[in-house]
Amino acid sequence: MKRIYPARHLFLSLAVATSLFVVPAAFASGGGHDGGTAAPAKSAEETIKAAVNGNEQFKAHHDSHHFDAFQSGQAPNLTVVACSDSRVHTQLFGMQPDNNIFVIRNIGNQIKNAEGSVDYGVRHLPTRVLLVLGHSSCGAIKAAMGDYSGETTGIKAELDALKPVIAAEDRNDETNTRWGKNVERNVDFQVRTAMELYKDKIAGGELTVVGGVYDFNDLYGKGRGTLVVTNINGETNPNLIMAHPALKELGKGEVVNHVGSLAPGL
């Protein structure tokens, strides 16, 4: 029988930012062209070896019974639309992802660019929570803020969908401040898109749409690696989010530490 959990139970897990998994050493290095310290490039052969060895480590930590519950189907509790950025992964939730988190990823964590996949998570599985997850230092948002005319046709098509977000920004701030705010604005834009697509399920209490930012830059002042809830069903005022029924099983400290905004009132 399919397991259905009230949305409020999921927020207890969303408030935890501790990893439960062993990360293979070969993949533990940081880096990237979006602002981190560049790591030495690995060859294709080294990367394949690391993936195979990492899988062996995964198997060593999960005996055969781990897979019993999902031999014939899946029963996730959370649909996540996240960015494809390599720094954003399910360990940030601190809960077992297998058969629990249905993840859709694209540049800029966009709903419309993956509408069919989101439909599957929301309407067919169905999960009771849809989380739109932006993140600090999002390269897609930075690219959309500038001139990306030299990009490939595919990348331009995906960045074009972010034009409404950038068009609404306040250009009075310096670039990095604008960048952070635009990440949050994009989350709000994607939440509004989801609310239009799934208004029947939201009205019937079958779905809660949550917007959040995975903040590994500590832009919100809550510590690196914090999941910051910035929107619930279109509500963006932090004080009202803190009082939202969906968060009622969280303690006061958890709520304060995981709710915030860089662009209040937008």
**Nearest by Cα to 245 from 233, 257, 256, 236:** 233
Q: What are phi and psi of 259, to 5 degrees?
A: -125, 135
In angstroms, what CA-CA distances link 251 with 242, 243, 254, 258? 10, 11, 5, 11
pLDDT tens digits, residue range 75-114?
999 999 999 999 999 999 999 999 999 999 999 999 999 9
C-beta separation of 83 from 134 below 8 A: yes
Q: What residues contact residue 157 under an 8 Å CB cut-off, 6+ apart?
A: none
Q: What residues contact residue 207 under an 8 Å CB cut-off, 6+ apart?
A: 122, 126, 128, 129, 130, 198, 201
Q: What are the E-state strand segments in 181-225?
A: 208-215
Q: In whole numbers, what is the pLDDT of the chain averaged over residues?
A: 88
| Residue ranges for the chain with pLDDT beneath 50 | 1-9, 12-13, 15-33, 35
Q: What is the CATH number of domain 7-21+75-258?
A: 3.40.1050.10
199-237 b/e with 16+ CB inside 10 Å = b?
eebbeeebbbbbbbbbbbbebbebeeebbbbbbbbebbe
pLDDT at 265: 54
**pTM for the whole thing?**
0.85
**Nearest by Cα to 215 from 35, 88, 33, 31:** 88
Torsion from C-alpha of 113, 188, 86, 141, nearest 10 degrees? 80
Q: What residues contact residue 106 under an 8 Å CB cut-off, 6+ apart?
A: 81, 83, 84, 113, 114, 158
* Residue whose pair of structure tokens reads 């903040």 in the numeric block: 215
Beta pairing class for 101-106 and 78-83 = parallel
